[in-house]
Structure 1
Amino acid sequence: MIGFDYGTSNCAIGVMTDHQPQLLSLGDHGRYIPSTLYAPSRDIIVNWLFKQLSSPARDSFQQQRKLQLQKGRNSLRELTLDGYPTELSFGKAALNHYLQAPDEGYYIKSPKSFLGASGLMPQQIALFEDIVAAMMSHIKSLTEASLGRMVDETVIGRPINFQGLQGQKSNQQALAILSNAAKRVGFKAVEFQYEPVAAGFEYEASLRQEQKVLVVDIGGGTTDCSMLLMGPKQASSMDRAHDLLSHSGERVGGNDFDIALAIEAIMPSFGKNSLLKSGKPMPSNSFWQAMAINNIQLQSEFYSAENARFLQQLIRDAEQPELLTRLLSVQQQKLSYRVVNAAEQSKIALTEQASQHIDLTDIDEGLHINLDRSCFANACQRQLNAIASLMTEAIAQANTQPDVVFVTGGTAKSPVLQQFLQQQLPGCQIVVGDHFGSVTAGLTRWANKIYA
């Protein structure tokens, strides 16, 4: 049995060792695998997955994906004839493949962000299910290699609400994709647990007396808040429904911080906030489309031929055409992920240092940008305010003030965020957990409890 944090930004696996959760080291990835996948062609993902499956899963999969498998075989033949590799890569290796040739192959980051999207066609849902299954298959194989045994029972983390506009319908769609993918790759028992609740379980293990704990879990795609009654007595219970005092959640997470930082701090060097020759402000829509890597529709619009013509016209009309030429390069060379990744790495660096230098000379010679923590705070004010609203909502629902705020998730490391949260609840203790590991550890504890 394992705890499986299939996260928006990173994936991790936990097992119980000597009554304590332990995060596994998974091959060359280490304990955390970035939630990214790269394929030389999108069409071959289904074929790669097919090879990983065992019978009878393989037989039923072949019937369900007959046309996709044939299309993939055609793509495999073309890749082989042209001398291209045909394997998938995951984590940092996937990002490296993308950065080497952004306009080639198929790269996806944070597929979890898309699972609750409204308006997905059946073939799109099938593609996302295959992407998730491929990533799960890779992680499951690494887990079994690390443990030296098979694993077939898991608890998977889930946000309170997935990213999507249709509420419960979006949640049902996302959970179905995750459940189908997990069972397809060999998990016989699959349960889900709310990520903020799981993070709370890990904090609870350290308590010696009862406390009201506001868990703030800032994931890659969502932020979830849960007010929980915690303590030694509660930890021994199998039914925690009465201990869960309130829930709140919104589609704002670490990825949104990255995108906001890219738009507000990097895109001005690509023409945002500049002027047209007429003196009118530069239209801003294209800059949002360029950086919205978690929005299928906006990215499709940005990379359309129609938008390429629009950007070329903007260059002709711009007071500073050299800036808009950089944006056209992003469009033509498919560099959206490259720019947002630069923002993400800057956000991470600003947790340890007050300023950060960004080198974008691969996009345009001489393009350098300097950022600092105040720049980060200003760029992400909307995201910070959204988290504050979620905290307020959870406290109001519970009709009680927390004794402590337990914060987890990658962005929880940021001094800017920690200072902001303290301002929201002055005098309340703020505890920052294991930034990535808290959820995984809590899922592992729950898996051990329900499957034991």
Structure 2
Amino acid sequence: MICGFDYGTSNCAIGVKDGGAIRLAQVDGDKTFMPSALYSLGRELICEQVAHHLPPSLKDEFVAIRRGQLQSALRVRRELDIATDEQVMFVGHQAFAHYFADPEEGYFVKSPKSFLGASGLRPEFMHFFEDIVTAMMLSVKQRAELSLGRELKQTVIGRPVNFQGAPANDTGAELSNQQALDILGRAATRAGFTDVEFLYEPIAAGLSFERSLDKNQTVLVVDIGGGTSDCAMVRMGPQHRVKDDRRDDFLGHSGERVGGNDLDIQLAGRQLMPLFGMNALLKTGKPMPTKTFLDAVCTNDVGALGRFASLETGLYLEQLQRDCAEPQLIERLIRLRENKQNQQLVRSAEECKIALSEQDPVAPDLSYIEAGLTTQISAAQLEQAIARPLERITRLMEEAIAQAGEQPDVIFVTGGSARSPLIRQAVARTLGDIPILDGDHFGSVTAGLTEWADKIFR
């Protein structure tokens, strides 16, 4: 069976063509979107779970490559006294539930797609991220097949224009993108797909939108996801959607590693980290160094996560507590680090961002860190916190338009982060009096991927 697979930074979804209509499969209980999160009782056990579910034709080679990791998994099972039939890995909402219940235990990762294409990673880390992606793809695919009652074999997977932040014409960007696509391709094959193709996510979103057009137009598609923002200028309409070759219709595209996660991180850094001492003074009267505080919330940066979890940072924070004029604030940061609650803190910032669309101000409940801990955050503070990533997003729109050499007739905005009123205001300020239309903010990409998969595999 043919499907479109949106392996997203925030959510994963699978779509299929059913009687001419597109429908999304249930992949997280009765839900058609699964949060991109994984929790394992031990990080070594992720590789083991992949090995258990591999097709026989791929298993021997995988076991040979991952022999060391698989031996480590056996050791972890013995040390933790984990029974052979005990569930050791959870994805989606179950992953969040286990992380919130025991953040200091196990291994939790949110938005692993954010790490794809990162430079300077050692081979063992590349293998580790590959196994995380494979484990999640396996879970989503198996759940979709269970709900559909059919096996999925051919797929088109969405990809951003750029997985990381380098300019599109930069050699580093090409290497980064290829590394990410190689990981996604191997993961999809190991998950059981026999044919795998990729399609730019903004173009996929545009194909979904095109079904609603009754006249030909030039459309600027703005897809603001959790980890990346992508724009595409596309000629669309009745005369275009019947074509098998659409290359001449794609007039320009741009993309960068900036999205909803970056907005959450900026808000957490500006408005929540002061509760942990970021704006406190040292006893000498000098300002507090901020790097470690920003590392704490930079949850989409593997380097920052590694630094914050390191032994050196632990020793540094103990010294910082002695040097700080308000040592109780640094003590709070030390507890956050020991309890591995930095992911949860950024999640609280995300909830504030969403709530500020409907009320102003908001007060996040941070009692999971300390009883009664909270602060007030206003819409004006959110706007100030996210100004820089918003500027980067609007530059991408201008870049795609410049490549096309013409103005769009209409702007189609999609992606979970595009629901924010601040983002819509930024689009209007940048591009002026051009109609802005919304689609299914979560389902447009999946629907477009499914349309394209049906066209090329049918």
Farther-moved stretch of structure 1 (321-330 vs 90-99) = 321-330
Check conservation: 2:28, 2:92, Cα contact below 8 A: no
Letter in 2 for 1:289: D
1:251 to 2:257 alignment: yes
Secondary structure class of the residue paired with 1:288: helix
CA distance in 1, matches of 2:357, 2:432: 22
**Partner residue of 1:311 out of 302, 306, 317:** 317
Which position in structure 1 is the counterpart of 2:455? 449
Using the size of structure 2 for normalisation, the TM-score is 0.95
CA distance in 2, matches of 1:81, 1:143: 28
Aligned CA distance change for structure 1 residues 180 and 29 (closer, same or farther; 3 Å): farther
Which position in structure 1 is the counterpart of 2:273? 267
1:293 to 2:294 alignment: no
Secondary structure class of the residue paired with 2:29: helix
Letter in 2 for 1:101: D
Secondary structure class of the residue paired with 1:282: coil
Farther-moved stretch of structure 1 (319-328 vs 332-341) = 319-328
Which position in structure 1 is the counterpart of 2:11? 10
- Which runs of at least 4 in structure 1 moved beyond 6 Å after TM superposition? none
Farther-moved stretch of structure 1 (371-380 vs 145-154) = 371-380
Check conservation: 1:117, 1:164, Cα contact below 8 A: no
Secondary structure class of the residue paired with 2:364: strand
Using the size of structure 1 for normalisation, the TM-score is 0.97
Farther-moved stretch of structure 1 (169-178 vs 412-421) = 412-421
Secondary structure class of the residue paired with 1:216: strand
RMSD (Å), alpha carbons: 1.6
Check conservation: 1:40, 1:85, Cα contact below 8 A: no
How do 1:216-235 residues align onto structure 2 when only pairs under 5 Å count? Answer: 216-235=222-241
1:106 to 2:107 alignment: yes
Check conservation: 1:76, 1:86, Cα contact below 8 A: no
Which position in structure 1 is the counterpart of 2:411? 405
CA distance in 1, matches of 2:28, 2:186: 25
Check conservation: 1:410, 1:436, Cα contact below 8 A: yes
Farther-moved stretch of structure 1 (148-157 vs 75-84) = 75-84
Letter in 2 for 1:43: E
1:281 to 2:287 alignment: yes
Secondary structure class of the residue paired with 1:245: strand
CA shift, 1:274, in A, is: 2.3
CA shift, 1:397, in A, is: 1.4
Residue segments in structure 1 that go unaligned for 5+ positions in a row: none
CA distance in 2, matches of 1:82, 1:237: 55
CA shift, 1:92, in A, is: 1.3
How do 1:199-238 residues align onto structure 2 when only pairs under 5 Å count? Answer: 199-238=205-244
Which position in structure 2 is the counterpart of 1:434? 440
Letter in 1 for 2:350: E
Check conservation: 2:416, 2:441, Cα contact below 8 A: yes
Which position in structure 2 is the counterpart of 1:90? 91
Check conservation: 2:38, 2:95, Cα contact below 8 A: yes
Secondary structure class of the residue paired with 2:15: strand
Letter in 1 for 2:311: A
1:343 to 2:383 alignment: no
CA shift, 1:163, in A, is: 1.8
Which position in structure 1 is the counterpart of 2:169? none
1:40 to 2:46 alignment: no
Check conservation: 2:165, 2:256, Cα contact below 8 A: no
Farther-moved stretch of structure 1 (106-115 vs 353-362) = 353-362
1:168 to 2:174 alignment: yes
% of aligned pairs identical? Answer: 49
CA-to-aligned-CA distance 1:12-68 (integer Å, 9 cap, x gap): 111112322212222416111010000000111111111112312222222222222
Letter in 1 for 2:96: L
CA shift, 1:83, in A, is: 11
Residue segments in structure 2 that go unaligned for 5+ positions in a row: 167-171
